[in-house]
Structure 1
């Protein structure tokens, strides 16, 4: 399987929408989701496409920041691989690629959030060396959120 990982140009970010919609459970209306993605690419955000030859089979967002407790950090966001490609080692390949990439950018840590119900994801991330030092809390302060 000739899998490759490559940056999605900001002008092409909407090609990731089908995967991000699946992750959100289609709870965010398409218009709002596309507006948010277009805004994200103007911030410290990059999106990586996962390709089997020329077919996009997944994506992963990367947020770059400096945190007082973690130093220069990259947060992996909305990691999605098409169901027919799962359990074939692609997640491991993706996170090996991410680790090499963000190390080259001077990052000291990789962080991520995983939904509580995603227990298979939790097991995968723990096998990849991620720890759970706390909880991520959200308070919705806008009805649009």
Structure 2
């Protein structure tokens, strides 16, 4: 079942983020989730099975100035490593794409680190194409 995330899900989400290589999120995840859940341009969804959160997706809607529609951006999509390749990620991505269409978005994008080879294959199966260069500047040390 896909549903909106609740603050009570934060421990399960922290475990999922650890599987993506983001340790120690417990100390700040509550504040980050409160901010995300309060922002109308953010959507944080979880996949729950048997009373347990086993996957999540974070979707951001980015208003555009020079285009007719907005852009949706997936920042985190993670399925528990013990149950990957069972269609849960596909369900979450398709849910996100449908949400983006409802909001009038013209595209959906995802930034996926170069080391995540299996994730690249997943996104390609979902119809994503590699886009032009992506630049990032670190603002904190």
Question: Which bin holds the TM-score, normalised by the shorter protein?
Answer: 0.7 to 0.9
Computed over aligned residues only, the root mean square deviation of the Cα atoms, in angstroms, reads 2.2
For 1:97 and 1:21, locate their aligned partners in 2 and report how far apart those are by CA, in whole Å: 23
Runs of 4+ in structure 1 over 4 Å off: none
TM-score (norm 2): 0.82
Per the alignment, residue 139 of structure 1 pairs with 137
> Is residue 2:120 matched to residue 1:114?
no
Per the alignment, residue 27 of structure 2 pairs with 31
For 1:76 and 1:132, locate their aligned partners in 2 and report how far apart those are by CA, in whole Å: 14
For 1:60 and 1:93, locate their aligned partners in 2 and report how far apart those are by CA, in whole Å: 11
Paired residue secondary structure (2:63): strand
For 1:108 and 1:70, locate their aligned partners in 2 and report how far apart those are by CA, in whole Å: 8
> Which structure 1 residue ranges, 5 or more long, are not aligned?
none
> Is residue 2:87 matched to residue 1:89?
yes
Q: Identify if the C-alpha distance between structure 1 residues 72 and 118 changes in structure 2 by more than 3 Å, giving closer, same or farther.
A: same
Contact 2:9 2:53 in 1 (8 A): no
Contact 2:72 2:105 in 1 (8 A): yes
Per the alignment, residue 96 of structure 2 pairs with 98
Q: State the Cα deviation string for residues 60-108 of structure 1 (Å, max 9, x = none).
A: 1010112346831211121110011101122222222222222122222
Q: Identify if the C-alpha distance between structure 1 residues 23 and 34 changes in structure 2 by more than 3 Å, giving closer, same or farther.
A: farther
Q: State the Cα deviation string for residues 27-47 of structure 1 (Å, max 9, x = none).
A: x55424443333333432111
For 1:138 and 1:75, locate their aligned partners in 2 and report how far apart those are by CA, in whole Å: 15
Contact 1:46 1:61 in 2 (8 A): yes
TM-score (norm 1): 0.80
Per the alignment, residue 62 of structure 2 pairs with 65
